[in-house]
Structure 1
């Protein structure tokens, strides 16, 4: 005689609250990164008040921590090569995709859990996909930031014929930040793999409890 175990349906109120919180965090992070992308590529603030100069200094690049102009010289981020600014903005672009994709997958998993199916294939696939995105996205983010920092160093130290100031102005000293590797994101993906394995084992136990061999 087989026994049948029905998973109880979870109250929708906490699930809805969790989904709202997830999307508030995701949208806030995406908007912050979108502003970083705009500032990095455009080389200016989004809104300049009272006639102030909207142009930003070269140190506004996320990868630069020091850029000292020669006395009497002027220079701004907008003077740097466009391709370099775009490259420096790619980590933030990628981060937007990561947080939105993560929010979608978490939302999908939460809805299935609320339906009383925590071990359903959709939940397991969502957790597995989330883990892959966090690990692969984190590694790619670190690689892009490393490449951007290396490109800045390469441009700053290259003096080709007819180009006196590769970064657009006469900088005496320029230095870059340590590449940003999102270790928390990557480690969260690793934890997600372990969680996915646990859910897989839970699904097997549920099938056995339902009398399915």
Structure 2
């Protein structure tokens, strides 16, 4: 599953002359569902959408709060073209889940979001309709997300999630703190390792 998440000051969806839904400040999420997506992808995307820290806190500190922390709105729009594969200059959408399967799948995503958050703050467009999506990007801030592919072994999935959380925690630290940790990791490197291979030494496997 792919998503384009935009921090907005306002956003709305219009079909024909009728406005279907609108939000004030919050997130506008374009979702592209693939033929390979499962409930695991839904769980991942719902968690990330609601917990992504793209808002400031009460003191104005950036990248501190999620949409849930600020109790803001979320507008979701089904966007199968995110699953586009170019063949030359022509878009191919065979990777996108067929509409008859994608609609209940998409409705399930909305339901999971409403259960995990406040139902009245989750809005959506009109599945399958020709929509006009009006987005006033705030920043601009645009985040591209894709649910992880690979093993279905629960132990490996848990390990991958922990590794990702550690990387996100490291990125959220200040440069001086991250630099101290980097220096510490170098002191733990194998003394017998060659200088040329030193850059490959890491506490985590690269993905």
State the TM bucket, normalised to the shorter chain.
under 0.3
TM-score by length of 2: 0.23
**Structure index of larger Rg:** 1
Q: By percentage of residues, which structure has more helix?
A: 1
More strand by share: 2
